[in-house]
Amino acid sequence: MGGSSIGVFLGLTVVLAGGAAILAGQAIADHWRSFWQVLGTAFGLALFNRFLVYALFDGPLLDVGAFLVEYVVIAILGLIAYRITAVRKMISQYPWRYERTSLWSYRDKQS
C-alpha cells in the first residue's frame, strides 16, 4: 500500500495543500470574512489532498484517520495565516486606534 510515506505527507499535505490554505486564509482575512470560511476551505482542500494521495500514490481514498490528520494540519496553517493577516490589517487600517502587541494580537492604544 503506497501513499503513506512521510514524503508524500510533507509534499502534498504540508507544502501543496498547506500552501493553498495559507493563501486562502490570507485572502479571507483581507476581505474581512469570518474565520469559519477558513475551516470550510480547509475541508475542501483536505478532500482534494486525499484524492491526490489516492490518484498519484495509490493511497487509500476512504481513510478517515488520515483525512482527519490532513484536515487538522491544513486548517491550522490556514487559521494561522488568517490571524496574522487580520492583525496586520487592523493595525494598518486603524493605526490611530490599535497597536500591535505580538504577531498574533493587538490592543487599543493608550491615550
* CB proximity list for 43: less than 8 A, separation 6 or greater: 71, 75
The model's pTM: 0.91
Report the candidate in 106, 69, 73, 74 with the shortest Cα–Cα distance to residue 89.
106
Predicted local distance difference test score (pLDDT) of residue 55: 95
CA angle 96, 102, 108 (to 5 degrees): 30
| Domain edges within the chain | 6-81
Q: Encode pLDDT of 27-81 as tens digits.
A: 999 999 999 999 999 999 999 999 999 999 999 999 999 999 999 999 999 999 9
